[in-house]
């Protein structure tokens, strides 16, 4: 009898990085649009432009280098996450049950009023703002319930997409319920966040599914036949989402038909729609694209304003509105908040409640702009590592964390999206704990005869 030994199954190095490149390319594109689009950013000195460009390029280079390092090399294979067929319907039920009180808490109307809200998204958004202002301090129970259930509810979309073939009709129906709840909540509030999150998380999950197929050695022809339908669904979703985005902004700002300029909220920072560089586009598409650029790229201007200010540490709570509010509720001390760059940008008519200042700025609130560099490197490294483990190592917890990290990178030009809310905090913390437990205990092993070559 041949002697044998137990070896961890390790896939070869060199897995695809195409999904990482696509997401990172989007972030680079936002900065290029910030520089090139005809907007009168009030940055008046060449030295300020040079400083901003150098620092953003340095930050992006560090993120990408760390991502490459994190995604390099082989990884051990883990078993599928247990209990998935129970987790998905249970989490979907929770999402559906929470939708009713959440809708009333944030919009003072029920989910059954979704069609009325859809008819006038501008009015829906104004109603949402009024309700939030009127119920400040009265939504604590809903906030706690949503935060406690967020880790399970969040996982429905990525895990449902990744395991679409094996979850059965109950799992697929659960995925549909979760998506429907997000869309209804988005329409009732008149906000784009929920739709954007669906797109980013769904795309990240599709990337993981694609990466696993590549790791299993499937040919290009098989991959095309398997993924052309999901790609088509994503394109249709994106087309509908951009139409809804444009309609919402038109409802808030007024008709785009005769516009010659569009501005960032109520500021005097505006884009010239008649500029020859973009005048060749149809009026509505030109206006919609400009609003998107002003919404996604304006954070770089907030970053520039912050770089003009001295560093005042926020002692570990300045990186997130949620962390700041929790600290203030516990201590009644606003000193760290008043020290942040994002708060002090309000003196330049760029208040944090209404304007973006990039993920970089939120990190710098705690550690300064030099200290932000190693933090960005850490984010990039784990983004790459979770991709490697999710795709090559078949790790489901890593797949959920990859979706979270992809959301963080995608929103880098705007804010610290993942940790901006209590939901994000609990989701991130819970899935890191699950990932650590799972990778330690759920390693797949194989019996390999002695003398047979194995991956090193």
pLDDT tens sequence across 37-54: 999 999 999 999 999 999
Q: What is the pLDDT of residues 354-380, one digit of tens each?
A: 899 999 999 999 999 999 999 999 999
User: What SS3 state is found at 2?
Assistant: coil
Give me the pLDDT at residue 218, please.
62
Q: What crossing angle do the helices spanning 422-441 and 140-162 adopt, rounded to 10°?
A: 40
Which residues lie below 8 Å from residue 239, measured CB to CB, with a gap of 6+?
A: none
Give me the pLDDT at residue 2, please.
38
Q: Is the dihedral of CA 109, 114, 115, 118 positive or negative?
A: positive
Name the strand (E) or helix (H) holding 5: strand 4-8
- Find the length of the chain: 456
Give me the pLDDT at residue 443, please.
63
C-beta of residue 420 within 8 angstroms of C-beta of residue 319: no
Give me the pLDDT at residue 455, please.
35
Which residues lie below 8 Å from residue 65, measured CB to CB, with a gap of 6+?
A: 377, 380
What is d(CA 305, CA 450) in angstroms, rounded to the nearest whole number? Answer: 63
What is d(CA 105, CA 196) in angstroms, rounded to the nearest whole number? Answer: 22
Tokens of 456: 């090193």
User: Phi then psi for 78, rounded to 5 degrees?
Assistant: -115, 160
Which residues lie below 8 Å from residue 17, measured CB to CB, with a gap of 6+?
A: 68, 71, 387
Give me the pLDDT at residue 138, please.
84
User: Phi then psi for 164, rounded to 5 degrees?
Assistant: -50, -40
User: Phi then psi for 261, rounded to 5 degrees?
Assistant: -150, 150
How many C-beta atoms surround the C-beta of residue 331 within 10 A? 11
DSSP code at position 81: P
Q: How far is CA 298 from CA 33, 151, 230, 450, in A?
A: 10, 30, 32, 60
Place of tokens 């990884």: 75
What 80-85 contacts at long range (C-beta under 8 Å, 24+ apart), as own/partner pairs, is: 80/163, 80/394, 80/396, 81/159, 81/396, 81/397, 81/438, 84/159, 84/163, 84/167, 84/171, 84/396, 85/167, 85/168, 85/170, 85/171
Give me the pLDDT at residue 232, please.
79
What is d(CA 132, CA 141) in angstroms, rounded to the nearest whole number? Answer: 14
User: What SS3 state is found at 300?
Assistant: helix
- Per-10-residue mean pLDDT for the chain, 456 residues long? 48 75 96 94 96 98 97 86 91 96 94 91 89 86 94 96 91 95 94 90 93 74 67 76 69 70 85 88 84 89 96 94 93 95 95 93 97 98 96 93 97 94 95 92 52 34
Q: What crossing angle do the helices spanning 422-441 and 321-331 adopt, rounded to 10°?
A: 110
Tokens of 155: 């996982």
DSSP code at position 80: P
């Amino acid at each position: 009898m041949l002697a044998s030994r137990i070896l961890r199954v390790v896939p070869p190095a060199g897995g695809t990085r195409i999904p990482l490149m696509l997401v990172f390319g989007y972030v680079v594109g936002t900065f290029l649009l910030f520089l090139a689009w005809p907007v009168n950013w009030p940055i008046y000195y060449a030295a300020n432009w040079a400083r901003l460009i150098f620092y953003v390029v340095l930050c992006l280079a560090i993120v990408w280098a760390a991502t490459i390092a994190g995604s390099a090399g082989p990884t051990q294979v883990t078993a599928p996450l247990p209990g998935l067929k129970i987790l998905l319907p249970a989490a979907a039920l929770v999402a559906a049950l929470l939708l009713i009180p959440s809708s009333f808490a944030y919009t003072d109307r029920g989910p059954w009023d979704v069609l009325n809200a859809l008819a006038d998204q501008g009015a829906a958004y104004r109603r949402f703002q009024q309700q939030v202002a009127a119920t400040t301090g009265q939504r604590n129970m809903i906030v706690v319930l949503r935060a406690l259930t967020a880790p399970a509810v969040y996982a429905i979309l990525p895990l449902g997409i990744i395991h679409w073939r094996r979850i059965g009709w109950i799992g697929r129906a659960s995925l549909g319920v979760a998506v429907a709840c997000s869309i209804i909540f988005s329409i009732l509030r008149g906000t784009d966040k929920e739709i954007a999150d669906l797109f980013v998380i769904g795309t990240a999950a599709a990337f993981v599914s694609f990466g696993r197929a590549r790791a299993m050695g499937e040919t290009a022809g098989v991959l095309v036949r398997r993924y052309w339908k999901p790609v088509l669904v994503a394109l249709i979703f994106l087309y509908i989402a951009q139409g809804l985005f444009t309609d919402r902004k038109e409802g808030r700002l007024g008709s785009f038909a005769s516009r010659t300029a569009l501005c960032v909220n109520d500021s005097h920072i505006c884009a010239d729609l008649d500029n020859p560089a973009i005048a060749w586009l149809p009026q509505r598409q030109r206006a919609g694209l400009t609003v998107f650029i002003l919404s996604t790229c304006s954070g770089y201007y907030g970053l520039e304003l912050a770089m003009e200010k001295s560093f005042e540490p926020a002692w570990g709570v300045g990186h997130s509105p949620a962390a700041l509010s929790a600290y203030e509720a516990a201590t009644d001390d606003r000193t760290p908040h008043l020290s942040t760059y994002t708060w002090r940008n309000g003196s330049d008519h760029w208040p944090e409640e209404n304007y973006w200042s990039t993920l970089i700025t939120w990190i710098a609130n705690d550690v300064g702009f030099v200290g932000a560099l190693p933090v960005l490197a850490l984010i990039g490294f784990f983004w790459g590592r979770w991709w490697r483990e999710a795709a090559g190592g078949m790790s489901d917890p890593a797949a959920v964390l990859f979706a979270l990290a992809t959301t963080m990178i995608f929103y880098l030009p705007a804010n610290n999206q993942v940790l901006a809310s209590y939901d994000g905090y609990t989701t991130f913390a819970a899935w890191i704990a699950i990932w650590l437990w799972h990778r330690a205990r759920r390693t797949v092993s194989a019996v390999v005869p002695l003398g047979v070559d194995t991956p090193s």
